[in-house]
Chain A
């Protein structure tokens, strides 16, 4: 949802680009190479990055057409299993049951880690709290801590903001923060957690409300909001999210982003994926606020 306007803009741009190419192509009497089409679909977290990659790659390779759509990690993997896309984007690892389903259809999904993403916890700049442990964060979101003064802040109620339940980020936050990564832990979000349909909704509310706490992908956090430094456990070092802290593993709320192909990629798809893992493509990752793989 957050990427919709940009997505529309880009698809218009791509369409125009396509039209202009088609017209130049027809003016040349003999098209030398056949065009390769790559279908790329999945996670909304990755869609902006995938579009930026596709745009750059098509600018360099006139004979390749890449179409990028969002829809969510599950949607992308389902499309891969059904054989309608060449590359599926996912902000989570493929589930065992999805692998079984794919194998039943004779498809062996191959995984590529293409970038990393950190979830930043954000508060209003007026809020004096700047450090929290994972345990405190879990207690805040599950409703055990209800006032900022319990974590060293002012006497204000805590307003919890979250993405909607269908967001991959929501599920990741639930598993990694609320349940502290423990499989048997069944902690749930406090019932009065506000579930906002977009990243923008969370950012607007945090920007104007000093009671609010929210979370969002590192790439989407604007400069005028305050990020919280997180410690893995009581007494541990408090770490702010950044490319360095994500790559050296000290920032605890970070995840890998994936692309999946049906079987080992060949031809144009292989060339594209090789390029994505190259330093040239990884600089685009940094530009969009994600963390490049090293």
Chain B
């Protein structure tokens, strides 16, 4: 009896450990594959071409700067939409909304999170982009801004559900303490609950950013895909081309092993490194603030 139990324990422990390690193995394998397919680009495309301003692969123009700036500007815009809106919604659900409202709102937000991005893209083409064109008097409604709005919408559910969990786990005694000191509801939220949930809220923001930078379908449908360097504020309201949209649009017909093929993988590598940096930066901030909190408490 004892023996079978031990044996089962052994198997289950190993299985759980293996699935834990598998995440590391998969990331390593993906990165290795990206390196293998992407690095040849550095030998095939001169640096001056790779960091030039024109992306037109069928004539061997492989300038990836417009694509990088395009991704960054759309993600930045999406973050500006998703963070205030997402955290606001999370605060409302967790701190202010009455119980019945919360029961309606939470599933609604989750439903929004499950909305296929291609559907949002359709809404973008049919409604948001014509509206923005006439409302803001732009030459075309297919702009970085349109992409940002929709991507913000895609990132909001991620931000809301994680930030809401974090706020929920703040002990009730914190709030009661603040109220006892005479703090208003808003003061309690802004000075006590949110700072106490800081690491969780930050994780929410980072995952939201990650969701936005990796999103492909919506962006490909609504940002116009013109590979123009996007570094001025005006670029926000003109068409841009992102890294994800480029890979998605061009991977299908590229000849296996060609310079174009390697360059697309190189772009994938850049994308991977950017999200790695975002994640590492986020976790180091969270880690540092945790350490400080522990110091204060001890």
A interface residues, Cβ below 8 angstroms from B: 71-72, 74-75, 156-157, 159, 164-166, 171, 186, 188-189, 191-197, 201, 204-205, 208-209, 211-212
Contacts and interface: CB of A to CB of B under 8 A. Distances in A.
B58 interface: yes
Contacts of B142: 194, 205
Residue from A157, A195, A205 with most neighbouring chain B CB atoms (10 Å):
A195
Given A195-B226, A204-B126, A211-B140, A189 B249 contact: no
B57 interface: yes
Interface residues of B, number: 33
A71 B54 CA distance: 27
Interface in B130-164: 130, 133, 139-142
Contacts of A195: 224-227, 241, 249
B56 A188 contact: yes
Given A74-B253, A194-B226, A201-B221, A171 B58 contact: yes
Nearest to B239: A194
Nearest to B141: A209
A78 to B, nearest CB: 9
Interface of B: 53-54, 56-59, 61, 66, 125-126, 129-130, 133, 139-142, 220-221, 224-228, 238-239, 241, 249-250, 252-255
A71 B250 CA distance: 12
B140 A194 contact: yes
10 contacts: A71-B253, A72-B252, A74-B255, A192-B228, A194-B142, A194-B225, A195-B241, A197-B249, A201-B221, A212-B140
Nearest to A193: B226
B110 to A, nearest CB: 29
Contacts of A165: 56-58, 250
Nearest to B57: A165
A194 B226 CA distance: 5
Contacts of B140: 159, 194, 205, 209, 211-212
A242 B252 CA distance: 32
A134 to B, nearest CB: 21
Nearest to B245: A197
A197 B56 contact: no
B56 A189 contact: yes
A201 B226 contact: no
Nearest to A211: B139
B56 A75 contact: no
Contacts of B255: 74
A89 B25 CA distance: 43
B228 A191 contact: yes
A197 B225 contact: yes
Nearest to B55: A191
Contacts of A191: 53-54, 66, 226-228
Contacts of A189: 56
Contacts of B126: 204
Contacts of B220: 197
A188 B58 CA distance: 11
B250 A164 contact: yes
A209 B139 CA distance: 8
Counting from the closest, the 8 A-B pairs by CB-CB distance are A166-B253, A194-B224, A157-B139, A195-B225, A159-B140, A208-B130, A192-B226, A72-B253
A92 to B, nearest CB: 13
Nearest to A212: B140
Given A196-B224, A204-B126, 10 more contacts: A164-B250, A166-B253, A186-B59, A188-B54, A191-B53, A191-B228, A192-B239, A205-B140, A209-B141, A211-B140
A188 B228 contact: no
A209 B146 CA distance: 15
Contacts of B221: 197, 201
